[in-house]
Structure 1
Amino acid sequence: MLKVNNRKVIHTLSKRLLKENKSRNKVALLAIILTSFMLSALILFGMNAYRFNEVNWIQSAGTAADAYLTNPTELQLSTLDKSSSVERIGQITQVASSEMDDDRIELSYLSKEAFQMKQDALYPIKGEYPKKQNEIMLSVEAVNHLTGSTPKKGLKIELPISDEHGNQVMQEFILTGWFTDPLASNNPLTSIGFVSKAYLESTNHTIENNGYADVQFKRGITGVDEVERLEQQIKTLDSQAFATYFNLSGSSDQMLMLVGVGVVVLLIMFSGYLLIYNIFYLSISHDIRSYGLLKTIGTTAKQLQQIIRGQALSLSVIGIPIGSAIAIALAFGFALYGGLPNFFRYWQVQLVLIILSSFFAFMTVLISVWKPARKVGKISPVEATRYTDIKIQSKKTKLTTHGGKIGKMAWRNIFRHGKRTTVVFMSLFFGLTTFLSVFTVVESLDIENYVSRTMVSDIEMRNSYMIGDDGEFEPVYNLSSKLINEVKAVPGVTAVMPQYESKYKAEFSDEFSSYYNWAKDSISKADLAKRFEGEMISLESEDFECLFSIQTSEINSNIDLPKSNTVYLSQSLEGTYELPSHFDITHPISGKEYKVNFGGYLPISLRSSGINHWAPTLIVPEKFMNTFNGKVQPVIGSVYVSVEKGKDKEVHQQIQQISEKYGDFQIETKEALRDNLQLSKIAISLIGGGFSVLLALIGIVNFINIMFTGIINRKQELSVLESIGMTRKQVNKMVAIEGAYYAMISLGLVWTLGNGIAYGLFTLFNSVSKYAVYQFPVTPMVLVSLVVVIICVTVPLLTYKKMTKQSITERLQENMY
């Protein structure tokens, strides 16, 4: 048997059939564009959200490295470099410091690998790394503060540098590059700068005496466990620290985010599948006689399937790029809108993400047309000529003398085609439930609740930070009683509450297992035992009482704050970890030991100034703070300022003016936090709401398509009903009731089962956020329900009206020959 190459003929047939089905093509193209758009947008937003989270971690550590080793020897570096678990090692050597009053810039030399690992933390970086001895790279904030101008290549900057004798010597540098230092946003000169290798060689500084190595492990390796293993190999000294920054590769939040994106991708693919499948299924049902005739002249089942897939492929080539392009345009639109400026700061439209989303969209189309194409291939020419797409039910017909009731007829019509009905209900249910779930979460984002849990007062003042001799950030305690008295005198200020802080030491033991389980992703048990130091914080007794009076409903009746030797944790940590019922703490200066009891959690958000402590921050009564410190005066770490309603801006401006006389501070306000959160909520509402509306739209479009095609396919049946005496008014009533039933059943499922799913998702979300307050989205749900009812009722009526432009005779004769 000779093989005949009919590819060209099949391709021509596919194109001709595609041109004939213009109305089908429009709906199918819309479905493919919607599916492609949602998949592209979700993958772009999801993967960039993953990157945003990753960059936040990197910024908190200042590098993409997983661990650091202080003062490494050449042998230790060589051993680490040969380890199969190590991806790369960066060397950082501190070569000089520039001090001006209480401000400080730490100058370091970075190896190529170290600089690469810092790039995300200092994004965006402009210019190039210094090469000559007199070249320097500084933060934008430092350049602005030092010169009063914007950074530019070749700008000359003078800095006082401490020589080997401790004397300040002015040195002139030429700026070759600049970066954004996130840690310098509130204190411009608490910053870092980079110099060349030539500058390092002009000093007597070495990495073994004045530096550290950043170590990045290969993907999938747990940093804490690997540090413990390598520590034995490189034989660290007691004076060295080998510890992790964080364990990003094993972060449960990161994995949860990827799983979430994957689940939503599958949901979108399923919704798109339901729509595209239905479109092609109904189109094939309508054109089945044409395919039957093709089979009679010798077209094989495989060739018929190729014709169907060819049409889907042609529509995909047009629809998928359009959907991806709209998603990219929308993303950049949000970036310009600025609702989430920090998020879009690191936005990347990577080609691999577009290819990935296009692949998922293409697979959705192929899977959707597989079953309809298979159906065409299996049907015989004889079956095709008398195909009606309606299964004859074996149920016994009930005879009556008063005719059939229109409502019952409509009800039977809905469930006559089980598969089609199931697809409609599933499509509407999934789309509307997603809409309900997203708006439930968005409506439940209680900004005031978050602000009140995050900030104690209207304005909060905190000490700024500087880089110490060991390269670590340390608080600069500029807050003083004199400053507090000036703030109290500002018109509009109703209360000023200083927060006192003191360091403590504790003996780490297995009793702290709850705390270790929380911290183990960031530090090994051995390192935690070595560095188990923390801070205790306290307010004056009347200030505690003032805060408790605001939170009376949340106060645990067992809490007895004046009780001596009792320590507490902030309520935000409840469920995260707990402390032993009894343990010992030691004063770091006097060495005196105290036995304390754990009293539970206080419903106030107090934070310490310390950022390099590994023991928990303890909240203690004023009396115990004084007893613990004895003659040593505790420092003021924060000041909480309450303001008269409506005077926040005026008071904030005056406090800023006063604070300039005392040094640099971090000043936060509830108003600024509230405004930022409101912008973010709007952006989240637009993004999440947009996705949910589109998913709901897929369900609605699916319904429109099925109802439109269903009534067209029932043209003869409805014409017969008219010919035996059923009026057009009665037919209109019947198809309208059919649509109403679809709406009632779908909305009934959404308002009951869907609402249960939405509440479950809210509970899951709130277990992470802990500040959301459940709020049912009444207005959005009522509006979308009205839209669904209107569409479900009007679409059948409009379709029937269009069909009845022909006479009954013409409709009855249409498919007789």
Structure 2
Amino acid sequence: LHGLSPENYVSQWGVSDFALTYSIHEREDLISSEMVSEIGQLDGIENLRLTYAPYPQVAADVVYDDAVFHEFLASLDGVNGIDFSDPAKLENYQQNFFSGVFGIDSAYLEEINKTLNLPIDTSAFEQGKVVLLSKTVEGLIQPGQEITIQTQNGQHSFIVANGYLNEGFRAGGGNERGTAPDLYISQTALKELFPQYRVFRVAFDTDGQHDESILQELKQITASQANIDIISRYERREEMQEYLITAKVLGTGLSVILLLVGVMNFVNTMVVNVNTRRYELAVLESIGMTKRQIKRMLFMEGFYYWGVSLSLAVTIGTAIFILLYMIFSKVAYYAVFSYPFIPLVLVSGLVLLICLIVPIWVYKTDVNLPVVERLRLTE
């Protein structure tokens, strides 16, 4: 469960510590300039970024080009009830091709450029010549291809950039999609193409010291607009923390039970092993082997058993552990591989003590009788 720490979870979610957004179907301008101003004055916030969308309609018609969107449509076939086996349905989908158009802060582009060998042309982006897409369509729509949208002023074409926005960029209520991929252009380009626009998303990071108070103040600021979603890594972290506490209690309890069962079984095996060798040990002692030498022999045997057990745990056990992680990570994508070194060391130490102490303890309880008596009892 260490790989499911709250930090691992929230680091995979979204691109900002806090975000406010709403459904693309909302006709009202929910996030007002006064609201943005109040948010900007909160203590502890950093990197405040606005995302704009056309008003009152967020979406814009996209000219369908099979050379550009063929792979994208193929990826949708059979998903969420979409069926393109009927040519009429496919044609209807292509004719009703639209997407959300959003004007994003140039800071997002700067962050993407840091990860690219060939940075995106910032000037071309600001001039409305380049469009960013989400990572969800990476590999489906190729960089350099042209996407054309229909606006009130006619058609406008963009070149697809060679970088992509994080998949969680539009987490929350504003995450609904059009039939075409979302288009992210510069704020300058959006304002030129769409005379009417509105703030669709407010996102910012924090210093990590005021998250709880910021969340409460955001709820007060947006109290008059119930349809605004507040998404925060702070809340996600708290939710995951509560889940992990429950999971760790159950997991630890189950682990302790399994450990006790294993230890009891191991102790029983060691006891039976020594008891079945009573005659052998008595014979060795009768021909001159000292009790100290017998104890040393049992000690070395216990150490040998421990070495074999540890080797199996490190090899076969690790292989099983990695296999389980690979299966689990497909369900919990935010899981991070973390080898349990400390539990392994603690359990290994416990098993070592058992292997060294139990055989000698059983032997000591048996040597209270004379050698002759022990030989007679085991005949």
Give the TM-score taking structure 2 as reference length. 0.80
> Conserved in 1, the CA contact under 8 Å of 2:44 and 2:209?
no
> Conserved in 2, the CA contact under 8 Å of 1:579 and 1:598?
no
Q: 1:566 aligns with which of 127, 130, 136?
A: 130
Please list every run of 5 or more consecutive structure 2 residues that lacks an aligned counterpart in the other structure. none
Instruction: Determine the C-alpha separation between the residues in 1 that align with 2:226 and 2:260.
Output: 57
Q: Which amino acid aligns with 1:444?
A: G
Please list every run of 5 or more consecutive structure 1 residues that lacks an aligned counterpart in the other structure. 1-441, 466-472
Q: Which amino acid aligns with 2:180?
A: A
- Residue of structure 2 in register with 1:515 after alignment: 72
- Residue of structure 1 in register with 2:32 after alignment: 480
**Residue 772 to residue 456, structure 1, CA distance change in 2 (3 Å):** same
Matches within 5 A, 1:799-810: 799-810=362-373
**Residue 516 to residue 604, structure 1, CA distance change in 2 (3 Å):** closer
Identity of aligned residues (%): 27
Q: Which amino acid aligns with 1:503?
A: A
Encode CA deviations 1:557-609: one digit per residue, 9 max, x unaligned.
224152343333444x387x532442433236555242432523235731171
**SS of 2:337 mapped into structure 1:** coil
Q: 1:497 aligns with which of 49, 60, 70?
A: 49
**Residue 754 to residue 619, structure 1, CA distance change in 2 (3 Å):** farther
Note the C-alpha offset of 1:770: 4.1
Matching of residue 578 in structure 1 with residue 134 in structure 2 = no
Instruction: Determine the C-alpha separation between the residues in 1 that align with 2:311 and 2:31.
Output: 60
Instruction: Determine the C-alpha separation between the residues in 2 that align with 1:778 and 1:475.
Output: 55
**Residue 488 to residue 685, structure 1, CA distance change in 2 (3 Å):** same
Encode CA deviations 1:714-757: one digit per residue, 9 max, x unaligned.
11111111111122222222222212111112212322443344
> Conserved in 2, the CA contact under 8 Å of 1:492 and 1:643?
yes
Matching of residue 741 in structure 1 with residue 298 in structure 2 = no
Instruction: Determine the C-alpha separation between the residues in 2 that align with 1:607 and 1:703.
Output: 54
Encode CA deviations 1:430-450: one digit per residue, 9 max, x unaligned.
xxxxxxxxxxxx222243243
**Residue 724 to residue 518, structure 1, CA distance change in 2 (3 Å):** farther
Instruction: Determine the C-alpha separation between the residues in 2 that align with 1:636 and 1:802.
Output: 82
**Residue 768 to residue 624, structure 1, CA distance change in 2 (3 Å):** farther
Q: Which amino acid aligns with 1:718?
A: L
Matches within 5 A, 1:302-313: none
> Conserved in 2, the CA contact under 8 Å of 1:503 and 1:588?
no
**SS of 1:558 mapped into structure 2:** coil
Instruction: Determine the C-alpha separation between the residues in 1 that align with 2:29 and 2:175.
Output: 11
Instruction: Determine the C-alpha separation between the residues in 1 that align with 2:256 and 2:197.
Output: 56
Matches within 5 A, 1:734-773: 734-766=297-329, 769-773=332-336
**SS of 2:168 mapped into structure 1:** coil
> Conserved in 2, the CA contact under 8 Å of 1:504 and 1:585?
no
- Residue of structure 2 in register with 1:453 after alignment: 12
> Conserved in 2, the CA contact under 8 Å of 1:534 and 1:614?
yes
Matching of residue 784 in structure 1 with residue 347 in structure 2 = yes
> Conserved in 1, the CA contact under 8 Å of 2:22 and 2:228?
yes
* Greater RCO (CA < 8 Å, at least 6 residues apart): 2
- Residue of structure 1 in register with 2:3 after alignment: 444
- Residue of structure 1 in register with 2:240 after alignment: 677
**Residue 512 to residue 700, structure 1, CA distance change in 2 (3 Å):** farther
Matches within 5 A, 1:628-647: 630-647=193-210
Q: 2:101 aligns with which of 525, 533, 536?
A: 536
Instruction: Determine the C-alpha separation between the residues in 2 that align with 1:729 and 1:684.
Output: 48
Note the C-alpha offset of 1:510: 7.0
**SS of 2:141 mapped into structure 1:** coil
Matching of residue 709 in structure 1 with residue 267 in structure 2 = no
Instruction: Determine the C-alpha separation between the residues in 2 that align with 1:691 and 1:561.
Output: 56
> Conserved in 1, the CA contact under 8 Å of 2:137 and 2:181?
no
Q: Which amino acid aligns with 1:775?
A: S
Matches within 5 A, 1:287-306: none
Encode CA deviations 1:506-545: one digit per residue, 9 max, x unaligned.
3263754543454323211236546543223332224654
> Conserved in 1, the CA contact under 8 Å of 2:133 and 2:160?
no
> Conserved in 1, the CA contact under 8 Å of 2:120 and 2:161?
no
Instruction: Determine the C-alpha separation between the residues in 1 that align with 2:141 and 2:233.
Output: 31
> Conserved in 1, the CA contact under 8 Å of 2:151 and 2:194?
no
**SS of 2:12 mapped into structure 1:** helix
Matches within 5 A, 1:405-484: 442-463=1-22, 477-484=29-36
**SS of 2:162 mapped into structure 1:** strand
Give the TM-score taking structure 1 as reference length. 0.40
> Conserved in 2, the CA contact under 8 Å of 1:743 and 1:792?
yes
- Residue of structure 2 in register with 1:296 after alignment: none
Q: Which amino acid aligns with 1:521?
A: V
> Conserved in 1, the CA contact under 8 Å of 2:15 and 2:166?
no
Instruction: Determine the C-alpha separation between the residues in 2 that align with 1:530 and 1:807.
Output: 99
Encode CA deviations 1:384-404: one digit per residue, 9 max, x unaligned.
xxxxxxxxxxxxxxxxxxxxx
Encode CA deviations 1:298-337: one digit per residue, 9 max, x unaligned.
xxxxxxxxxxxxxxxxxxxxxxxxxxxxxxxxxxxxxxxx
Matching of residue 686 in structure 1 with residue 249 in structure 2 = yes
